[in-house]
Every structure is written in C-alpha cells, then in structure tokens.
Structure 1
Amino acid sequence: MAELDLTADPAELTARLVDIPSVSGEEGELAAAVEVALRSLPQLEVVRSGNTVLARTSLGRPSRVVLAGHLDTVPVNANLPLRRVGDELHGLGTVDMKGGDAVMLHVAATVREPRHDLTFVFYDCEEVEAARNGLGRVERELPGWLAGDLAVVCEPSNAVVEAGCQGTMRAELRTAGRRAHTARAWMGVNAIHGLGPALRVLDTYAAREVDIDGCHYREGLQAVRVSGGVSGNVVPDEAVLTVNFRFAPDRSVAAAEEHLRGVFEGYDLTVTDHAAGALPGLSAPAAAELVAAAGGEPVAKLGWTDVARFAALGLPAVNFGPGDPTLAHTREEHVPIAQIHRCAEVLTSFLT
C-alpha cells in the first residue's frame, strides 16, 4: 500500500497523490492510503464509507468548518505519471483536484489547535453521474458528518475564494410535423424548421447579470443539441432542441423553469435535469474570516460545484483551492507549486 507523509511539503504530497491512479470508481488504493494516514493522527476520529474517507476533531470548539475534496479523476489522457516542469506540477489530477486534497491532508496533520472544530471529507465518484457521488451517500447514511458552520470545497479556484455557484438546468423543446416525401415536401410539415424561432431567440438572448454579496454572476442560455430526421428523403415529423440554462443563485429551480417557459412560450418544453445553485453566504462569520485570510476580493463561481450540496444542507459554502479550473479535464492539466503553498498557508492562517 502507498504511504503518505501528511506533514511533508503539500506540493510533494500532491505529487504523491497524483501518482496513485484514482479514476472514478477505482479510488480504492488512494482511499486506503488516505485512511491509513489519517488514522495515524490521534486527534481525529476516522470513518470509511465505500471509497469515501471522513475524519473530524471533537475539541469542543463553538463552531465547525467542513473541508471537502473528491479523490477521483477523469480517465487518463496520456498525462500520467506526474511531470515536474519548472515550478509547476503536470499530470492528471494536479488541478482537479489532488492539489486541493493534498492541502486538506496537510492541514489535518499540521493544524493541531484550530479555532474551529474540523471535518475532512475525501469522497469518491464526483466526476460521474450524481447518483454515485460519495457526498450523496454520506448525506443519506452519515448525515451528522456534514454538519457545520462553513464548508470549504477545495476545488480549483486559482487560490481565490469563489463564492456560491450557478444553478444549472437542461430542457428539451419538441416540435411536431407531418411526414412526406421530400419530392412532395409541400404535403408535409418540417419539424426541424419549426425550431427556427427558438434558435433565433437563443441567438439574440440577453444574458442576465447580477451582483450578490459583491460577487458578479452572469447567466447563460445555450443550445447544446439538435436532433430529428427520419431519412434523407423524408420530411421529418419530430425534432428536439436541447438547451442548457446556467442561472444565478438568486433564482430557485422553479423560477429558472418559469423563465425558460417564458422565453420559449408556445413550445412543448420538458425539463430533463436540474441542480440548484448556492448563494455566496459571505456574511457568515466563518466565511468572512476565510475571505480576510485569503486577502483580495472573492469572486462568483461560474459553474456548478458541490458547494450547492452543502448550501442545501444550510451551510454557507465556498470554493478555495489551487489550480486553474479551465485546465480541469484537459491533457495539459498542471498546477503552480506556489498556489499549493498559498492555499495551505491561507487555510492554516484562517483556522488558527
């Protein structure tokens, strides 16, 4: 079994984690190494749930901070083993999100007298369908482990506090027509052509922008798929346009659906998937302390992350971790060593 030195330089610990492959569903080796390392720390209670490892202190502090990070990665894309290029670490998971995991593990081992009680959640299957996400299993089976006053999800954020997250919704617009031979097209009704007005609406759609707790969110509505057609010589009698709506966290899921139905009035619209966003929650005392420790200004999270799961449980939640999120899931994934060090220093300062 791989051994992890949690007191080592967190950049070195990142390199060690990256070289333990952990594609979604195959996190067992890494989870075992994390479990063994955490069990060696006498101040922590440790529990294993599948390939999720949880640890917490019980020091009687008046507040609790939950730090969370997923252990899994997307499939290997010719980007293992880890490579060092100057002051950067290159390889699968350096950004998403073993740099953040390494910071969490380093904090668990080195912050011995925190001002808050701490819970650490290293979970599995974040990169696949939501039903397999380890956080969902913990919420169902061990809900007390997700209680706290602030959640910090150590997803990549360029070492800047990213507050809240957008909500997301996918919907299908269906049009019906009448089949006919294309040689006698006037005898039919082309369902694909019927999508034209909806596509023109999308082409001129003005995205709403809103400031919440000083964070600027910009919404977006895009066509992501068009399907229809029977064969090369038949007028199609059905077409489907799939759209994705990224909405600011001041909209509920119900309000987002109402907005879509207004935008595409007259169309047969079916919502196929949705996830609520998360408000920044920066007015919470612990969140304000983290922002102060990080310096600079927090920014809005443009995208959906598991902070929304914590927000739904009543915890203010932010993203804070090393790495550029635009490099996640790419072959070119890499993280500056300086960002790993900065995140460890900020969290240590915040917690002590």
Structure 2
Amino acid sequence: MGRSDLPADILYEHRVTDYVAHLLQGLNCIVERQTVQPGRDNLLAHYDPGHPAPCHLLFEAHQDTVPVDGMTIEPFAAQREGNRLYGRGACDVKAGLAVMLAAFVRLVRERPAGSARVTLALTVDEEHSFLGVQALVRSGFRQGRPHVAIVAEPTRLHIVSAHKGVIRWTLETTGRACHSSRPEDGINAIYRMSRILLALEQYAERLRQRPADPLLGPRTLAVGRIQGGVSPNTIPDFCRIEIDRRLIPGETVAEAEADLLAWLRHAVGTDVPFTLQTAHSPCPPLSPQASMEWVERFGQIIDAVVGHHTVQAVPFGTDAATLSQAGIPAIVFGPGDIAQAHTRDEWIDLDQLEPAAEILYRFATQAEALSKTLSAART
C-alpha cells in the first residue's frame, strides 16, 4: 500500500507514541507529550538518578518511517529469518529506537550508582520536514539543556560526527494557456522552464567546482521532479520542478538560496519569470567540531563492547544537526546499515541490537568520566 492507501487510524506516529507512552508510564517515569501536528506527538521521558549528576544526556530517535510503496515484503509483518528482521522501519529507525528504549528502561529499573541524567526523546516527522526535533528544541527541556545527544540512525555501531545539510525548493514558471493548434496565442511555461533547467545544470557544475569540505566533499544540487501542463493539445500555463540542495558545514540556508537566485537572474534574465519556495523545513549540516571530545569518549565505550569503531561523515541529513545548532553536541549512532534503509525489503541485523543497547547503557552510567569530558569540551 502507498501512504494514501493506508487506513486513517495507522497514518502517522500516534500508535507508536501511545504504545511507548504506556510502557514508560508503567515504570513510573515522568512522561511528556508535545503535540507537533494533529496525531503527531513528540514523546519525552526523564530519568533522574536520585543523586547530583553533573552530566545530562539526550537519547533521541524518530518515530516515523517512509512510505511502503513498492515493497516486496509485507511492510508490517516483522518477519524474522535467521538474524534478520524484515519490515518497514526495521532499520530506519525502529531498531535504534528500541535499543535506546531498552537502555533507558534498564537505567530506570537498576538505577546504577554514578549515572547521568537522561532524557529520552522520540520525535515525529524526521523523514520529511524535521518538524519534531525543531519543536523539541523550541520547547526546551524539563531538566535543562542536555550536554550531549546521541541520535539514533543506522551506522553499523560506528560513529557519524558530520553530515551534509539539505534544503528542497519548488520552482515554478507560468505561462498563458491556449489551444495547441495556435501556440502563438499562448506562452509555453514548459519552454520557459527549459531555460531554467539548463541554467540549473550549469549551476550544479559550478557548485561542484567550489572548494569541497574535507570530510563531506562538494556542495550538490539536483532537480528530481518535474510537472507541467494538462494535455498534449493545450499550451501549458504552468511548470513546476523540485530541487534538492545539499549543504556543507559553513553554509547557511539563506546564503544558499540567495546564491541560487543570483545565478538564475544572471543566467536567464528577467524575461523568464519564476517563483522559488522552500518545500519544507531544511536540515542544516552537522559539523564535527562541537562533538570532538564526546566522540572520543563514546568511541571508547564502543571499543570496550564490540572491539572497534570508525568515525565517519555521511551525505544524508539527521536530527543531530538541529540539536547541534541549538548548542547540544550530537553524535549519530545506532544498529543497522543505511544501505538497507528505505529499501523494498528493509531489514535489520538483530545481532547488533544487544551491543548497541549495552553501549548506550554504559555511556549513561559513567557520570564521572562524562563530567571530565564535559569540562574538556568547555575548555
């Protein structure tokens, strides 16, 4: 089924939210719901160790998944074969959510001495507009702003410390419709768009020639979709394209848009009118600088559990960038491989789940070491 075919009662995240809220309330946790949109609530739970804790951690995972169109397996059957569990969201990112939940529940039940304060935040709308994490940042935090965040994404138990940002625009040209037997009576919006498209192709190449980020590579731009006209015998009075722009650290959304507009005005002039609008909330790039000390400490925990890790930069966007911009150093980590995310037969390697939960638990239980990391980060 495509998203439009789904019954209304299973659209969006509310059933996941209800299930996890019920589980956490049964543990006598302080649980909050933040309504972001109708039927779409962020869920927050708070662990207080009961002693002065110098460090406050945020475990963050998104509740939503991408649509199920074109899947070759039953999307919601959670079928297991060997060490694989198949289903939409198994990899991105229900497995990451599950291990964060497992580590958090263990903290609440065992209340280990010397642990940090932990906020578990399960956000909505990461796969489309990042509205959930933006609402989370705006609302503040019950226990004060966390000192560091671990953001669940499929990283194969490695660390992602940097990624590109993304902004998507819709660009439209207009014309004047008429019968195609007399095209001279109209203005063809698709022909107008053809000039825009040639200019964008040139601009994309110019972007790639600019100095690249040493970790993430070049800025990129791509046109991914085009729509226009109503029939072959009508001169089209509109044409619309969707543009994907990937940002590198140091770029801002406003600067990227201003640069694109300046190029288009130069390349196509004023005789091709167009409008450019942001399609949804952008995701900023994630720079590794703010999290360097935390990455080193978290890497030591990974090595103690599974023996090794790497620190990587990736081209896709995550909630970590919004948290980092709000002053919370963020590390991206979780079970699963991004190669399986959003695929027709999405699956998760179950062998990675217990080590991932153990890594998160150990990280949260070492408040003294975390306090030293916090002091080093501040200096």
SS at match of 1:277: coil
SS at match of 1:309: helix
> Relative to structure 2, which stretch is displaced further, 141-150 or 193-202?
141-150
Q: Shift of the alpha carbon at 1:86?
A: 1.6
| Residue 109 (structure 2) pairs with residue 101 (structure 1) | no
Q: Does the aligned pair in 1 maintain the 2:221–2:243 contact within 8 Å? A: yes
* From 163, 168, 171, the counterpart of 1:170: 168
Q: Scaled by the length of structure 1, what TM-score is found?
A: 0.78
Counterpart-to-counterpart distance in 2, 1:75 and 1:228: 25
Q: Does the aligned pair in 2 maintain the 1:22–1:28 contact within 8 Å? A: no
Q: Does the aligned pair in 2 maintain the 1:278–1:307 contact within 8 Å? A: no
* From 27, 46, 53, the counterpart of 1:55: 46
Q: Shift of the alpha carbon at 1:137?
A: 4.6
The verdict on how the C-alpha distance between 1:232 and 1:331 changes in structure 2, with shifts beyond 3 A counting, is closer
What is residue 270 of structure 1 aligned with on the other side? 276
Map Cα deviations across residues 77-103 of structure 1 (whole Å, 9 max, x no partner): 623332221222222332122211222
What is residue 289 of structure 1 aligned with on the other side? 297
Map Cα deviations across residues 57-94 of structure 1 (whole Å, 9 max, x no partner): 25423222211113444567623332221222222332
Counterpart-to-counterpart distance in 2, 1:38 and 1:54: 10
The verdict on how the C-alpha distance between 1:230 and 1:23 changes in structure 2, with shifts beyond 3 A counting, is closer
Counterpart-to-counterpart distance in 2, 1:195 and 1:174: 8
Counterpart-to-counterpart distance in 2, 1:210 and 1:113: 46
Kindly provide the amino acid, as one letter, of the partner of residue 281 in structure 1: P
Q: Shift of the alpha carbon at 1:120?
A: 1.7
Pairs within 5 Å for 1:94-173? 94-110=90-106, 112-113=112-113, 116-124=116-124, 126-127=126-127, 130-131=130-131, 133=132, 135-141=133-139, 143-145=141-143, 147-173=145-171
Q: Which runs of 5+ in 1 are unaligned?
A: 1-20, 40-44
The verdict on how the C-alpha distance between 1:300 and 1:146 changes in structure 2, with shifts beyond 3 A counting, is farther
Kindly provide the amino acid, as one letter, of the partner of residue 248 in structure 1: I
Counterpart-to-counterpart distance in 2, 1:228 and 1:75: 25
| Residue 286 (structure 2) pairs with residue 279 (structure 1) | yes
What is residue 14 of structure 1 aligned with on the other side? none
Q: Shift of the alpha carbon at 1:270?
A: 1.6
The verdict on how the C-alpha distance between 1:33 and 1:178 changes in structure 2, with shifts beyond 3 A counting, is closer
* From 345, 354, 373, the counterpart of 1:332: 345
Counterpart-to-counterpart distance in 2, 1:218 and 1:160: 23
Map Cα deviations across residues 306-345 of structure 1 (whole Å, 9 max, x no partner): 1133123211112111112343344412111232233234
Q: Scaled by the length of structure 2, what TM-score is found?
A: 0.73
SS at match of 1:300: strand
| Residue 68 (structure 2) pairs with residue 79 (structure 1) | no
Q: Shift of the alpha carbon at 1:168?
A: 2.1
Once superposed, what is the RMSD of the aligned Cα atoms?
3.1
Counterpart-to-counterpart distance in 1, 2:236 and 2:99: 55
Q: Does the aligned pair in 2 maintain the 1:166–1:247 contact within 8 Å? A: yes
Q: Shift of the alpha carbon at 1:178?
A: 4.2
Q: Which runs of 5+ in 2 are unaligned?
A: 1-9, 35-40, 303-307, 367-379
Kindly provide the amino acid, as one letter, of the partner of residue 275 in structure 1: P
Query: What count of residue pairs does the alignment treat as equivalent?
Result: 323
SS at match of 1:159: coil
What is residue 346 of structure 1 aligned with on the other side? 359
SS at match of 2:189: coil
* From 47, 61, 67, the counterpart of 1:69: 61
The verdict on how the C-alpha distance between 1:195 and 1:341 changes in structure 2, with shifts beyond 3 A counting, is same
The verdict on how the C-alpha distance between 1:257 and 1:340 changes in structure 2, with shifts beyond 3 A counting, is same
* From 193, 196, 199, the counterpart of 1:195: 193
Counterpart-to-counterpart distance in 1, 2:125 and 2:261: 33
| Residue 74 (structure 2) pairs with residue 90 (structure 1) | no
Q: Shift of the alpha carbon at 1:142?
A: 5.1
Counterpart-to-counterpart distance in 2, 1:198 and 1:309: 32
What is residue 251 of structure 1 aligned with on the other side? 251
Counterpart-to-counterpart distance in 2, 1:144 and 1:165: 29
Q: % of aligned pairs identical?
A: 27
Counterpart-to-counterpart distance in 2, 1:22 and 1:229: 31
* From 6, 16, 19, the counterpart of 1:30: 19
Counterpart-to-counterpart distance in 1, 2:104 and 2:150: 14
Greater fraction of residues in helix: 2
Q: Shift of the alpha carbon at 1:218?
A: 4.2
Map Cα deviations across residues 41-69 of structure 1 (whole Å, 9 max, x no partner): xxxx5223165141222542322221111
* From 314, 321, 344, the counterpart of 2:334: 321
The verdict on how the C-alpha distance between 1:37 and 1:282 changes in structure 2, with shifts beyond 3 A counting, is farther
| Residue 273 (structure 2) pairs with residue 238 (structure 1) | no
SS at match of 2:173: strand
